[in-house]
Structure 1
Amino acid sequence: MKRESLEEFYKIKDLPAPDGLHNGIGHFNVFRIEDCMKPGKDVQYARRDYYKISLIHGNNRYHYADKSIEINGTTLIFFNPQVPYTWESISGDVTGFFCIFTSSFFSEGVRNNLGELPMFVPGSKPSYILDNGQEANVAGIFTKMLDEIGTDYAFKYDLLRSYLNEIIHVALKTEPAESLYDHPSASSRITAVFNELLERQFPIETPVQRFVMRSASDFAESLTVHVNHLNRAVKSTTGKTTTKLISERVLAEAKALLKHTDWNISEISNSLGFEEAAHFNNFFKKQTAITPSGYRNV
């Protein structure tokens, strides 16, 4: 599956790439959507090497991992490098703003880790519908970003980082996030680390990449806990078994690879850790009631 670099972003948008794309403080830039639209050119389904936040008006459809979300109105949507995405306009009239930034830019002088924020966690809800007041607030922040990015102010990136945090907090206040707290128990801490280890194996980007930690025992060994202890902790925290969570994540990746790559079934099967393509077919059909080939051709 294609992965778009910062250099490719500027080339695709036919925009001049700033000097020092990979400097020590990371990269940040902000744009009006309408200034970057190219008639007849679709946004490619791909993972990006950068984070993106968009404030977009109109009727639009987002394809995000294996899900599609159709929204009519004003949406604040968050994209991260772990999840492939694209979007299409249904109304045809697309306006708004977006900013792109790297993890190193955000973390410079900021306490929170991007991976702790719920809108950037793979599998979480990435979009937030805004009312008129929230829309005016976020549009105003983006406008301040656009005004500031072109100045010679010595501390402009500190200011831009504060604007970025302000947008994130608008979303967090719109829908309070249960993941932004200290884990109340040992079970929740073990579950959080299990989820991190699981997500660390994704995305699958080439047919030779292989998903290797496939069982509860594999994760328990890595966490140096007994497998029964891991299973109890995960079940008590999530209501699902460890095996179920692993299967759901493998299935989500399988769907994305089937829909958005030209890899054959054997390549996808192998990359997801199945010894035989027949095992992958049986797994996929048991989960979805349809074969991988049938899903690809829907």
Structure 2
Amino acid sequence: MKNESPEAKSLYELYLHLGLPVDLIQPSEGFAILNLKDINFTLPYQSPSFRPDYFSFLFVKDGKGKYTIDEHSFPVEPHSIYFTNPSNYRTFSWEKIEEIYLITFDETFLKQYISKEIFSAFPFLLTETISPKIVSDEFYGEVEQVYLNIHNEYLNQSTDTYRIVGHLLAVMLYKIKAYFWQDYNPIYEGNRSSQIVKSFKRLLEKHYRDLITGKMETVFRVQDYANAQNLHPNYLSNIIKIKTGKPVTTWIADKTISEAKSLLQNSSMPIKEITYKLGFSETAHFSNFFKKHTEISPVQYRKEHTI
């Protein structure tokens, strides 16, 4: 087994890296479900750190373990349901596994088989750090019936398997939304308390200050902002878009234009130098970018806004 922390695009890819059996996992379609009992973990089991590019639900009927995300550790106990998303690096450990079902799915699967507006229908998918929830016997019985049906369909692998699985997973998501997150509002969280959004905005401001003062020479891309928070770039992009209404790329473009306007209006810095300060390799590229967003050229803007 490799020692470095992997970034897994699927459960299949993760288990391959960890040296775990993958014969019960279909490597296509971005969906998997299995009873962890069937994996034959050598207990106690402790995983290395990894970062997934998929969402997951863990349904613990009988078992015991722990998930750790950053500095947060969560015990996983009988009759608990645990949801994770493709965000930070994490580890998991198991002390006991009797009946624990794991369901994983990626964004492509959700949009293909449930809804293209999946995060509008189920905004809780983008909630941040979530503790496992111990649920009532009645509710666990409801979701157990659904995930067992999903498992049966997954094992059958018929022509329509994933369409059926998509419908059943939607039922699961609606039930969980009603039980846990009926009033969850990601826009409110983004405006008030989202650490991911606040950290992104702070880093955006700091990075452009560093560019202007010469402390930095390279403009950050989405991957860089994601790396700064140990997040997957797709997850960061979804969080920022849903919670602020603007994609990360728009935030970056708007900040670039804002800084360009400030330099054009309040300094005598040559446009060629501004071009390089803001990460453009050629003045023509900067001018085209500026005109696209403001409808006038940098030269015209300077003339109109310089006293």
TM-based fold match above 0.5: yes
Contact 1:116 1:179 in 2 (8 A): no
Are 1:136 and 2:141 an aligned pair? yes
Question: Which residue does 1:105 correspond to in 2?
Answer: 109
Q: 1:32 aligns with which of 30, 35, 38?
A: 35
Equivalents in 1 of 2:128, 2:196: separation in Å? 16
Q: What is the TM-score when the length of structure 1 is the normalising length?
A: 0.56
Q: Which ranges in structure 1 are unaligned for 5 or more consecutive residues?
A: 210-218, 228-298
Equivalents in 2 of 1:107, 1:61: separation in Å? 30
Are 1:51 and 2:55 an aligned pair? yes
Equivalents in 2 of 1:20, 1:159: separation in Å? 18
Matching residue's letter, 2:37: E
Q: How many matched pairs?
A: 207
Point out the more displaced range, 6-15 or 54-63. 6-15
Matching residue's letter, 1:53: F
Relative distance call for 1:167 and 1:195 in structure 2 (3 A) is farther
Q: How does 1:112-151 map to 2 (within 5 A)?
A: 112-114=117-119, 117=122, 119-121=124-126, 123-151=128-156
How far is 1:226 from its partner?
8.7
Residues 223-281 of structure 1 deviation map (CA, whole Å, 9 limit, x = unaligned): 56999xxxxxxxxxxxxxxxxxxxxxxxxxxxxxxxxxxxxxxxxxxxxxxxxxxxxxx
Question: Which residue does 1:77 correspond to in 2?
Answer: 82
How far is 1:194 from its partner?
4.8
Equivalents in 1 of 2:106, 2:164: separation in Å? 16
Question: Which residue does 2:242 correspond to in 1?
Answer: none
SS at match of 2:32: strand
Contact 1:32 1:98 in 2 (8 A): yes
Question: Which residue does 2:70 correspond to in 1?
Answer: 65
How far is 1:55 from its partner?
0.3
Equivalents in 1 of 2:159, 2:177: separation in Å? 30
Equivalents in 1 of 2:184, 2:198: separation in Å? 12
Q: How does 1:152-171 map to 2 (within 5 A)?
A: 152-171=157-176
Equivalents in 2 of 1:113, 1:195: separation in Å? 24
Give the helix-richer structure, 1 or 2.
2
Contact 1:54 1:78 in 2 (8 A): yes
Contact 1:119 1:125 in 2 (8 A): no
Contact 2:110 2:116 in 1 (8 A): no
Question: Which residue does 2:283 correspond to in 1?
Answer: none
RMSD after superposition: 4.0
How far is 1:53 from its partner?
1.2
How far is 1:65 from its partner?
2.7
How far is 1:167 from its partner?
2.0
SS at match of 1:73: coil
Equivalents in 1 of 2:79, 2:46: separation in Å? 21
Equivalents in 1 of 2:148, 2:24: separation in Å? 21
Equivalents in 2 of 1:99, 1:83: separation in Å? 18
Contact 1:128 1:171 in 2 (8 A): no
SS at match of 1:97: strand
Matching residue's letter, 2:8: E
Relative distance call for 1:195 and 1:162 in structure 2 (3 A) is farther
Question: Which residue does 2:20 correspond to in 1?
Answer: 13
Contact 1:118 1:177 in 2 (8 A): no
Equivalents in 2 of 1:221, 1:19: separation in Å? 38
How far is 1:126 from its partner?
4.8
Q: What is the TM-score when the length of structure 2 is the normalising length?
A: 0.55
Residues 179-227 of structure 1 deviation map (CA, whole Å, 9 limit, x = unaligned): 448x68xx959x8995695596234499xx9xxxxxxxxx987556999
Q: Which ranges in structure 2 are unaligned for 5 or more consecutive residues?
A: 204-221, 234-249, 260-307
Equivalents in 2 of 1:34, 1:76: separation in Å? 17
Matching residue's letter, 2:159: A
Equivalents in 2 of 1:65, 1:122: separation in Å? 16
Relative distance call for 1:221 and 1:28 in structure 2 (3 A) is closer
